[in-house]
């Protein structure tokens, strides 16, 4: 999958977060959802795509801690 092929680039410190997000938006997401128009989407597939998106964005941004005060 494109995500694993680009993992070293996404995890690298030499690339800015904004560039990593562009990589996700232009390369990873379109390939992950290629031919999605022909998929019969159900709750399970939608949930898996949301989990994948969260996983990738968390890795790209380095995780953001939310302060709940």
Does the pTM of the predicted model rise above 0.75? no
How far, rounded to the nearest angstrom, does the alpha carbon of residue 3 sit from its chain's CA centroid?
Answer: 7
Indicate whether 68 belongs to any domain.
Answer: no
For CA atoms 26, 27, 33, 36, the dihedral sign is positive
Establish if 69 belongs to a structural domain: no
pLDDT attached to residue 52: 85
Q: State the residue range of the domain holding 38.
A: 2-61
Q: Is 67 left (phi over 0), alpha (psi -120 to 50) or beta?
A: beta
Would you give per-residue pLDDT tens digits along the chain (69 residues)? 666 777 777 777 777 878 888 888 888 888 777 767 777 878 888 898 888 888 888 887 776 666 665
Please indicate, yes or no, if residue 28 is contained in any of the structural domains: yes
The count of domains in the chain is 1
67 occurs within a structural domain: no
Does 25 reside within a domain? yes
């Amino acid at each position: 999958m494109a995500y694993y092929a680009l993992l070293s680039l996404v995890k690298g410190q030499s690339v800015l977060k904004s560039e990593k997000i562009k990589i996700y938006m232009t390369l990873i997401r379109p390939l992950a959802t290629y031919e999605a128009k022909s998929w019969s989407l159900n709750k399970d597939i939608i949930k898996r795509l949301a989990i994948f998106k969260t996983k990738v964005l968390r890795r790209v941004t380095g995780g953001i801690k939310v302060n709940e005060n």
